[in-house]
Structure 1
């Protein structure tokens, strides 16, 4: 009886130890993500931010990272950023010189970043002029915004670089969630620091229906996801949901995160930037 009792206690201890180890492995975050956003003005961008701030926490719980958000761009300072391995810009970019300097320092010292859609926008004159050369020309490489397709629509995109961790296990081509697609002043193919990961596949043309002629793309080369090899970063042109513009109801007609292949790209990128490794 005593022997049975001791064996039972030993078995219970082993079970509790195993459960504790499993709990520790499960609960310990692998990396920490902070998302900056503004969430004002354009309803499509507000819709994307709202959706992102629901999707990323769900993914954080599933893949064991933390996800925090802030609309206070004053938090873009060295002390605050030191807590995080990955920074996201969900819609806009910082305008304050001190915030810009802190972000550049963060990136130049090994920080990681993913920017979506409007975070790369720059047009002079506009409320978001091209007045930050390091960010738009050196870091992103895109320069200024030139034009876009309209209305938001799905496109077929082609994987240009299959060796990059973000494109691991993606199909050669796939259809995206509806989006407003941007054209840039700089030809990213001519920049040796830029690795283009996805571009618009020609089968997508004509892309957009207008009504303005320049809102319909009939040909050309359009990168939509790329990385700068000098930094740990990824820019993703997706991030503009389709909205009921015609009837002015502000009703959401699409969801960026409803596309599983596109989601895989984002999760691959987070894994790569957050841990420095590929998704198994």
Structure 2
């Protein structure tokens, strides 16, 4: 009897074990099916063939293993023919694996620019992605040069060399778990016409004295890993990417993996607005001094990352593709455009709601000036005369209720300046609103060149546009007065706040 009971119990136990086993297997299979669903998709644009093919093959093999471990899907393309906004919308990360910044179609360029500027996804670039210049009959992609820090390719170490990489930003997510310094083999160590450091955040540089074999092809300041925080997309560029042996280096693969996962994160914080300030380094000394002080003033105003202010002396940036990225253009010491193409681009920018802030010589136009649109834009007036030498002057507020002068005293003494007088006075135009005027109490003003009388508006706006002109801008004393600095802040804030696309301060 006991034997029969034992046999029956044993059979039941076996059935239970079998059922538990089936349940466990089914559960594992269900989990496996869930796990294979990718968390995100990565697009890899590769350059196949040529001297970088070994690196590309090794990088793709490593990336596919890394993708399996981290549950993302990899799609490779070898040219830009598929790239448009709809195609890029499928991918959380765009890896430019040694593919150069030329041979792109206009449509693919535009789609990529929006992908980066609007933070539609993240970007990781390697090595050949900064072959910026005129190559194979293609002109340089200016937007991409700016994206990479305003650089242009200059040279490289053709026989390759090993070099020691030194971290600068140890706490950045891309550098998590990476050694403070490490040596990478067989790279070309591209050099550029300038360091990108001024326009990007450098995460690491190469110690050029560590090259083995030694090389005279150097930059001095030689960043090799950097991010451009002026773009909404998370992005990181690695100058390295020539030889397959890089994928045998733990620090390199750690950076690579970190970069992909970080770039897949949400779009980074973005500033309230972006400003582009133009300055001419070839004008008279006093106007260069003003531009220098103005750029310092604007730079300090960006502290705390409330807005971004880019500065440039390259008037070729007065084009549709560049200007559309900025809510305000500032002309510090020269006209806002020079060539016919630049003038048309600036006019389109303003007529489509762009903002402009011009100082002093930004409105220097003589009788017979051949840009009539600008003459009308600025108030229908041309230069008449000026005082000399520069001297302080009493300025009177015209409309205390206007946001630009609200809260200011009814008059104040402005620091020494060369005051321009215009003919006819812009005040005569119905669409011009004068906000500050040189007080008649100043007359006669000047010792060598004298303004004896007449209406002399100092600050005004053309109410048909989002613009303001300020007569100040000569010498190194313009920013020494707190009342005047208050005026400048008010003017900048007012232009930005009147953007039809929305007030970023609200």
* Shared fold per TM-score greater than 0.5: yes
Alpha-carbon offset, residue 41 of structure 1: 3.0
Deviations 1:166-189 (A, max 9, x none): 112111000111100011122222
Mapped partners of 2:272, 2:406: distance in 1? 20
Mapped partners of 1:62, 1:203: distance in 2? 41
Of residues 410, 435, 438, the one that matches 1:197 is 435
Mapped partners of 1:155, 1:278: distance in 2? 35
Partner of 2:271: 29
Kept in 1, the 8 Å contact 2:331–2:357? The answer is yes
Of residues 335, 349, 363, the one that matches 1:120 is 363
Of residues 217, 229, 235, the one that matches 2:463 is 229
Mapped partners of 1:218, 1:62: distance in 2? 46
Within 5 A, what are the aligned runs for 1:120-159? 120-124=363-367, 130-136=369-375, 138-159=376-397
Secondary structure of 1:32 counterpart: strand
CA gap of 1:142–1:208, structure 2 versus 1, over 3 A, is farther
Mapped partners of 1:69, 1:120: distance in 2? 19
Mapped partners of 1:71, 1:181: distance in 2? 25
Return the structure number with greater strand share. 2
1:91 pairs with 2:333? yes
CA gap of 1:224–1:278, structure 2 versus 1, over 3 A, is farther
1:240 pairs with 2:474? yes
1:51 pairs with 2:51? no
Secondary structure of 2:436 counterpart: strand
Mapped partners of 1:34, 1:268: distance in 2? 18
Kept in 2, the 8 Å contact 1:209–1:216? The answer is yes
Of residues 442, 450, 453, the one that matches 1:216 is 450
Mapped partners of 2:504, 2:392: distance in 1? 28
C-alpha RMSD of the superposition = 1.9
Deviations 1:109-153 (A, max 9, x none): 1100000000100125xxxx61111101x1001422111011011
Alpha-carbon offset, residue 226 of structure 1: 0.3
Mapped partners of 1:107, 1:238: distance in 2? 22
Tell me how many residue pairs correspond in the alignment: 233
Partner of 1:261: 483
Alpha-carbon offset, residue 54 of structure 1: 1.0
Within 5 A, what are the aligned runs for 1:69-84? 69-84=311-326
Mapped partners of 1:260, 1:28: distance in 2? 29
Mapped partners of 1:48, 1:100: distance in 2? 24
| Bigger shift: residues 80-89 or 159-168 | 159-168
Mapped partners of 1:278, 1:226: distance in 2? 23
Partner of 1:100: 343
Kept in 2, the 8 Å contact 1:272–1:279? The answer is no
Kept in 2, the 8 Å contact 1:146–1:183? The answer is yes
Structure 1 runs not aligned, ≥5 long: 1-26, 242-253
Mapped partners of 2:286, 2:378: distance in 1? 23
Partner of 2:494: 272
Mapped partners of 2:270, 2:391: distance in 1? 39
Alpha-carbon offset, residue 76 of structure 1: 0.5
Highest RCO, 1 vs 2 (Cα 8 Å, sep ≥ 6): 1
Q: Which has the larger radius of gyration?
A: 2
Secondary structure of 1:176 counterpart: strand
TM-score by length of 2: 0.44
Secondary structure of 1:123 counterpart: coil
1:175 pairs with 2:409? no
Secondary structure of 1:95 counterpart: coil
Kept in 1, the 8 Å contact 2:272–2:505? The answer is no
Alpha-carbon offset, residue 279 of structure 1: 8.4
Instruction: Give structure 1 regions of 4+ aligned residues with deviation exceeding 6 angstroms.
Output: none
TM-score by length of 1: 0.79
Kept in 1, the 8 Å contact 2:279–2:291? The answer is yes
Mapped partners of 1:63, 1:160: distance in 2? 33
